[in-house]
Structure 1
Amino acid sequence: MKQENIISTTEDLKKIVNKALKLDAVGLDTEFVWERTYYPQLGLIQIALSDEECYAIDPLSIKDLSPLGELLADRNTIKILHDAPQDLIIMSQATGATPQNIFDTRLAAGFAGSISTISLLQLVSEQLETELDKSETRTNWLKRPLTEKQLSYSLNDVRYLRATRVILLSKIIGPKIKSWLQEELNLLNNPANYSTIADESRYKKVKGVNKLDRKSIGVAQEIATWREQKARELNRPRGHVIKDDILLEIAAIRPTRPEELANTAISTKAAERYGNDICQATARALNKKEVDLPHQQKRSQLSSQEKGALAQLKELITLKCDILGIDPALLGNSNELKKIIQTLYKGKTTHMRQSFGWRKEFLKDFYQIHRDTI
């Protein structure tokens, strides 16, 4: 790997960005470590101006990444990434910019006869008959100097993105499907994608929380909120503060005194360190009025008629997607399809992406038929 392919100063970064802004599209990727910290640690940013002209931007050497932010926010140059959301969040946090005009090759694959969950390794092999080396997947991208093998590996992750985009677009059946893809890609321009989930809503991510009663869910909410703030303060993974299963166990017994934590699986060290904070969080929840507590999100069962309609919906999606060359998974996961049926038959008003845009257009005949027969 040539030394000139490594960008380690803001001045050199500006030069590369100025070249990029004159192009129709560039490839982007990041390498990061996210194991023992709350925030992902950015180790490398790769950019491809062409198949041959690729650079590794060293964020550990460059303190001012604002030129990269200018490229991210530019509405004219297309930024091509594979499985874009996580990379965009990290680059947005590093630059303060809101990404615009993004092309996600993984998403596009789902509209071009492949699957929307395909890896870059599989996609490049499938579309370009080129095999990527993934031996450096678990490498430490924060260690310096990077080896020749690491640099070669990282740049190959962007080298083929421009060509892959061209091929995928050529395989999409007709302008309507391309407009559906563009509608999905436009969602990546939304600043809300790059803001974090509110601390108060983090409890919803704790698996099994809805098995608790409502008051204990309120306790889980307060403890999860406190845990998020503590993890951020310490820059440690939230599970290093308290693991989810222990959080649920604590919420179930609603401790008001630190000694009560002895009845849970929390470590002695964590109980001594966080016992008072946990009990204060519990007290905040127990002092709330019933109306202010979060509700249990219980899954309702479908009737036999609704199960039949769900089977018809899945069959329609599979058949239509096969004709159009679209991955059925793009229409929605199992829970989303179930919610469609509940909305039609039970009149539940839930915000669903299947109720607007291209998905609504795709499903309009099914909606009409079942509204007429209910």
Structure 2
Amino acid sequence: MAEYELIEKASDLKALCRHLEKERVVAFDTEADSFYHYFDKTCLIQVADRKKNWLIDPLALGGATELAPLAPIFASPDIRKIFHAAEYDIYILKRDFGFEFMNLFDTMVSAQLLGYPSVGLAALAERHFDVSLPKDEQRSDWSVRPLTGNQLSYAAADVVYLCRLADKLERELRKAKRLDWAYEEFAALTRRAWPAREFDKLGYLKIKGARGLDPESLAALRELFLMRDARARKLDRPPFKVLGNRALLEIAQRRPETEESLGQIKGVTDLILRRMGRDLLAAVAKGAKKSHGPIPKTAGGSRRRMDRRTERRLEILKRWRTERSTALAMDPGVFAPNSALEAVAWKNPDSAEELTELVELKGWFIREFGAEVVEALHRGAAEAKDKPRS
């Protein structure tokens, strides 16, 4: 069981930060409550140096002003911050407290670049330290106070091994000549900015099965989707905890007119019927009065339709990716995501220099493999030209 010190007072946080400012490597993790609340927030910040662990309680301390002593730690180029799967942690820490980051190390990204078959923290801890991290609090509501001893121990365990794990992975990256790749990935994470979260009024079109509905049912689904979000906001609960997508879709398909017929739909419990029955029926009725027009072209992020030549280039690139990623023992999607290959296929570059114009490609990928990509395209084009037509 991981030992820890709980930080709930401003004076204790300031003392901790004075200590951390002297360290060269500090591990961090966070716990949030998005599984339980519509308006999610950072509920716990776990911290560890090479000897000790701390759990910072933002809810006890207050808000961004009270957490400000951490800002110089995160922004310092002289202190390496270790995270595992840092993207979400950085997102909520920037959003909730306005922190900026420099000198990051992500153990999950490192494991991905090294081609590990399993890159979860539990798998890495077991592989490198022969320990089993607890999993029993993964679905905890971290906004509830007081936190239990089991929750706190679980949270502390997530940072106990991070500093040592980063040491091991850095050595492996250096040996594999992929350390520069990793540093570039880490730097990109620190610079990333996220737009403010906005409700997507066309989100109902992303529900599985929505695009197969007739116009009347699609109009009903639209109104049900809007009603559910409004209720989720009011209750501060995630929409899926108000009513699941499957039930939402079936209500839209059947378009019930009475509570009795509504209650026959799977997922519409007696409790939901009592609390939301009238609102659900009202949404269905509203949809009947407001017909659904053609699906907007922008819904779901429409993509350009490839012509045959571009499709052929994409096929060539995917074959090259399979061969190269296999040789590197890397996941193909990590090595070169589909979005990157599609961008190259559209670009049809004549030289590796042209690849620098594509924001979808990482700098390390262009430096190491840009010439190979162009050569593969040229070779594929030549083979297609020489191939006799049937």
Normalising by structure 1, what TM-score?
Answer: 0.74
Contact 2:4 2:53 in 1 (8 A): no
How far apart are the structure 2 equivalents of 1:282 and 1:268?
Answer: 21
1:337–1:3 CA distance, 2 compared to 1 (3 A): closer
1:215–1:279 CA distance, 2 compared to 1 (3 A): closer
Aligned to 1:27: 27
1:339, distance to aligned residue in structure 2 (A): 4.5
1:295–1:151 CA distance, 2 compared to 1 (3 A): closer
**AA at the equivalent of 2:107:** T
1:108, distance to aligned residue in structure 2 (A): 1.2
How far apart are the structure 2 equivalents of 1:221 and 1:316?
Answer: 43
**AA at the equivalent of 1:273:** D
1:111–1:297 CA distance, 2 compared to 1 (3 A): closer
Per-residue CA shift, 1:24-64, capped at 9, x if unaligned? 3310112345544324465432101x221211112342224
1:287-366 alignment runs, 5 A limit: 290=294, 294=298, 313-324=317-328, 326-332=330-336, 336=339, 339=342, 343=346, 354-355=360-361, 357-360=363-366, 362=369, 365-366=372-373
Normalising by structure 2, what TM-score?
Answer: 0.71
Matched, 1:85 2:91: no
Identical positions, percent: 23
Contact 2:207 2:245 in 1 (8 A): yes
1:208, distance to aligned residue in structure 2 (A): 3.1
1:196–1:24 CA distance, 2 compared to 1 (3 A): farther
1:294–1:275 CA distance, 2 compared to 1 (3 A): farther
1:343–1:226 CA distance, 2 compared to 1 (3 A): farther
1:215–1:167 CA distance, 2 compared to 1 (3 A): farther
> Match of 1:172, SS?
helix
Aligned to 1:6: 6
1:341–1:42 CA distance, 2 compared to 1 (3 A): closer
1:104-253 alignment runs, 5 A limit: 104-115=106-117, 118-127=119-128, 129-138=129-138, 141=142, 142-144=144-146, 146-147=148-149, 150-173=151-174, 177-190=178-191, 192-193=193-194, 195-196=196-197, 198-200=199-201, 202-203=203-204, 205-212=206-213, 220=221, 223-249=224-250
1:184–1:206 CA distance, 2 compared to 1 (3 A): farther
How far apart are the structure 2 equivalents of 1:248 and 1:360?
Answer: 44
Matched, 1:46 2:24: no
**AA at the equivalent of 1:331:** F
How far apart are the structure 1 equivalents of 2:122 and 2:284?
Answer: 45
How far apart are the structure 2 equivalents of 1:96 and 1:126?
Answer: 35
After superposing the two structures, state which structure 1 stretch, 275-284 or 198-207, moved more: 275-284
Contact 2:45 2:55 in 1 (8 A): yes
1:330, distance to aligned residue in structure 2 (A): 0.5
1:302–1:227 CA distance, 2 compared to 1 (3 A): same
1:45–1:365 CA distance, 2 compared to 1 (3 A): same
The number of equivalent residue pairs is 360
1:108–1:278 CA distance, 2 compared to 1 (3 A): farther
Aligned to 1:102: 104
1:339–1:245 CA distance, 2 compared to 1 (3 A): farther
**AA at the equivalent of 2:377:** H
Greater C-alpha Rg: 2
After superposing the two structures, state which structure 1 stretch, 244-253 or 27-36, moved more: 244-253
State the Cα RMSD in Å.
4.5
1:58-69 alignment runs, 5 A limit: 58-64=57-63, 65-67=66-68
1:162, distance to aligned residue in structure 2 (A): 1.6
1:69, distance to aligned residue in structure 2 (A): 5.3
After superposing the two structures, state which structure 1 stretch, 82-91 or 257-266, moved more: 257-266
1:194, distance to aligned residue in structure 2 (A): 6.7
Contact 2:259 2:278 in 1 (8 A): no
Contact 1:72 1:100 in 2 (8 A): no
1:237–1:332 CA distance, 2 compared to 1 (3 A): farther
> Match of 2:71, SS?
helix
**AA at the equivalent of 2:123:** Q
How far apart are the structure 2 equivalents of 1:238 and 1:159?
Answer: 34
**AA at the equivalent of 2:50:** D
**AA at the equivalent of 2:114:** A
**AA at the equivalent of 1:28:** F
1:104, distance to aligned residue in structure 2 (A): 1.6
How far apart are the structure 2 equivalents of 1:324 and 1:68?
Answer: 43
Per-residue CA shift, 1:111-158, capped at 9, x if unaligned? 23424x51112212323x3414315434565353632x5444432321
